[in-house]
């Protein structure tokens, strides 16, 4: 007879290695999504067009040599937004020349103030927030495209009156 003591039963269940790898990957993905979702840079600077109820613009009309205020026709909302995007947050904004402002009423209530700036290097600039004072600065889009899009919207607004 041998003096070997019987090995105690193992209560741990062996989990296959691919399952462990899968669980770790899922945990990493969930963590990354939460971090990105909570990041201030993850917020879109402009609302979805479907959430816009109305848009009013102040814009310097070079033909009239004056600042004009007009209701932006709905057909011009998307082109204006497109001329501002894609955009990234600018944590160190420069002193830019003002091009105008947009006051956007949202369909679900609330409003958004967008200050528009003209930038000589071509890349556009704007700030967006509930008010001018609380706006977050962004760089994106194209200044020349924005100016042309606003001029087109002004012309369309004048034709509708």
pLDDT digits (tens, 9 = 90+) for 105-146: 999 999 999 999 988 777 899 999 998 888 999 999 998 899
DSSP character string of 6-45: PPPPP-PPPPPHHHHHHHHHHHHHHHHHHHHHHSGGGS-S
What element of type H or E holds 60? strand 52-61
pTM: 0.71
Three-state DSSP state, 34: helix
Q: CA Rg, the chain, in Å? A: 27
Task: Please return the burial class of 116, using the count of CB atoms within 10 Å of its CB with bins 0-12, 13-18 and 19+.
Answer: buried
What domains can you pick out in the chain, each with its CATH number? 46-160 (3.30.1490)
Q: How far is CA 151 from CA 79, 109, 124, in A?
A: 12, 28, 16
Residues 150 and 145: their CA atoms lie apart, in Å, by 9
Highest mean pLDDT among 49-63, 67-81, 93-107: 67-81
pLDDT digits (tens, 9 = 90+) for 29-56: 877 666 654 454 445 789 999 999 999 9
């Amino acid at each position: 007879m041998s003096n070997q003591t019987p090995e105690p039963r193992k209560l741990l269940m062996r989990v296959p290695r691919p399952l462990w790898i899968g669980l770790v990957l899922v945990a990493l993905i969930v963590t990354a999504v939460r971090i990105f979702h909570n990041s201030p840079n993850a917020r879109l600077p402009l609302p979805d067009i479907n959430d816009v109820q109305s848009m009013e613009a102040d814009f310097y009309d070079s033909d009239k040599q004056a600042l004009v205020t007009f209701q932006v026709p709905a057909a011009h909302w998307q082109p204006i937004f497109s001329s501002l995007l894609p955009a990234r947050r600018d944590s160190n904004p420069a002193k830019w020349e003002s091009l105008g402002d947009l006051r956007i009423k949202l369909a679900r209530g609330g409003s958004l103030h967008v200050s528009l700036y003209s930038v000589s290097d071509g890349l556009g600039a704007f700030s967006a927030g509930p008010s001018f004072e609380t706006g977050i600065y962004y760089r994106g889009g194209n200044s020349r495209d924005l100016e042309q899009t606003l001029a087109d919207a002004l012309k369309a607004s004048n034709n509708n009156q």
